[in-house]
Structure 1
């Protein structure tokens, strides 16, 4: 069985408050985009599972890979046979695009289908949540308004079908401690759920990613990329998640590319 786990972008991201458990409550909109990895599973004679990968190098042990963790989680609860797993990695790491989370969620969905486990959608979301906060989103893989740790969803009527997206990922790594270092959690003056209903041309004046205020001063190249996207004609541009990818939304297909950075252009469904 073959599937293509896709990335996501964040439209707006408000850091609302710090929680007692050390995490932060946020408000954001997750929107799926057609930048994908490839994930394949098949029955195997090996004990438990056999993992292989191609594409972007994955420099961790197999047992620490989020795909293998998803497999082990399902295997601990359901009777599934030994499985060969291959991941072709195309979504860049550390980009705020949820690539690893998508891989894990798609693994859960694929195992459910391949071995006829009949796991309900809500249970798959609960299982995905045990792996990571972003993972449950990729089970249904539809635009949602997300709150709390980014794992409580409500319907979102946003529709970006037909818009072109240009995504740029420079070779910059931003760890979680750095991302949150200078943030100031606060309840936003205007609700993101209402702002998103305004014309997209107005978003740049009102819809923000709070991580930009923390990250851009330390990485001015990211601010420059965002500015360049607006100069190229983007109607809206932003960092996704806690970075370091920057995306722009365009009415017409952009032509900008950068030989220095990972650059991808797609069209939204």
Structure 2
């Protein structure tokens, strides 16, 4: 028994941290949406009860540190599954990039093994399990566009933004999400206008979406890594309609409405940044 499933990346159209929680996490409000840059997860059922992971990129862990491994391990133990699985991950999403690549791999593994092992779990049940693995996994189970609250695990689906191009640019560095949150001072930040962003999305107001892009983690990461600030400034200079860092970074994305401008932004960034992608938003009904 085998199955293959896509694991799409996400971007944050809005990311706000409201307060520090007693459990050490931050209470967040995030509007996330999926883009059509995706890893591929191939699952092959085995009879030996073992979980094995292999990855197309050598620097990605293939043991218990891998979130796809953790997803398989969680399902196997929770539902006393005797079968094992061989997981092959073809990476296309950059690693440690603020695009939830590892979380999406875990979500895809949950969904694929739900079918492969005939567990009969609903998406909501899978999302609840995903929350035990990582804060972004619940969103990645659902995909599309959603408001995520709590520590990111409470998901409320919303309409998809209007179709547009998304340019992603990642400098050659990794960012620790925990380190960025540790340096964040919730008392002094300018908070995101989450309600305004939701209103703009619902009314399909592309320029309203661009005007309300906001990520409270940006100031921390841009101060720590001047390369990220440089990419953001250049993306704006080349003519992207709206520009923001995704998650804790270091990937910066630009929303572009017209294809004619897309090539200018893409080619301009390729001049000094090797990891540049031109992708589309994925409508909610396509995930």
Normalised by the length of structure 1, the TM-score is 0.91
Residue 196 of structure 1 deviates from its aligned partner by 3.7
Contact 2:53/2:62 (CA < 8 Å) preserved in 1? no
2:245 maps to what in 1?
239
What does 1:154-165 align with in structure 2 at a 5 Å threshold?
Answer: 154-161=156-163, 163-165=164-166
Detail structure 1 runs of 4+ shifted over 3 Å in the superposition.
186-191, 202-207
What is the aligned residue count?
Answer: 267
Distance 1:30 1:189, change over 3 A: closer
Contact 1:80/1:115 (CA < 8 Å) preserved in 2? no
1:5-55 CA-to-partner distances (Å, cap 9, x unmatched) read 00000001111111111110111101011111111011224442332221x
2:75 maps to what in 1?
74
Residue 148 of structure 1 deviates from its aligned partner by 1.8
2:181 maps to what in 1?
180
Distance 1:154 1:65 in 2: 27
Contact 2:16/2:191 (CA < 8 Å) preserved in 1? no
* Structure 2: runs of 5+ lacking an equivalent: 283-287
Q: Give RMSD over aligned pairs.
A: 2.0
2:151 maps to what in 1?
149
Distance 1:227 1:86, change over 3 A: same
Residue 245 of structure 1 deviates from its aligned partner by 0.3
1:218 maps to what in 2?
224
Distance 1:177 1:83 in 2: 31
Residue 173 of structure 1 deviates from its aligned partner by 1.9
Residue 205 of structure 1 deviates from its aligned partner by 4.4
SS of corresponding position for 1:22 = coil
Residue 121 of structure 1 deviates from its aligned partner by 2.0
1:119 maps to what in 2?
121
1:9 aligns with 2:15: no
Distance 1:38 1:100 in 2: 12
Greater share of helix: 2
Distance 1:109 1:59, change over 3 A: closer
Query: Which segment drifts farther, 242-251 or 44-53?
Result: 44-53
What does 1:75-114 align with in structure 2 at a 5 Å threshold?
Answer: 75-78=76-79, 79-114=81-116
Distance 1:37 1:171 in 2: 19
Distance 1:185 1:120, change over 3 A: same
Distance 1:188 1:213 in 2: 10
Find the partner of 2:275 among 247, 262, 268.
262
Residue 214 of structure 1 deviates from its aligned partner by 1.3
Distance 1:159 1:204, change over 3 A: closer
Contact 2:9/2:35 (CA < 8 Å) preserved in 1? yes
Contact 1:15/1:184 (CA < 8 Å) preserved in 2? no
Find the partner of 1:52 among 51, 54, 61.
54
Contact 1:53/1:86 (CA < 8 Å) preserved in 2? yes
* Structure 1: runs of 5+ lacking an equivalent: none
1:131 maps to what in 2?
133
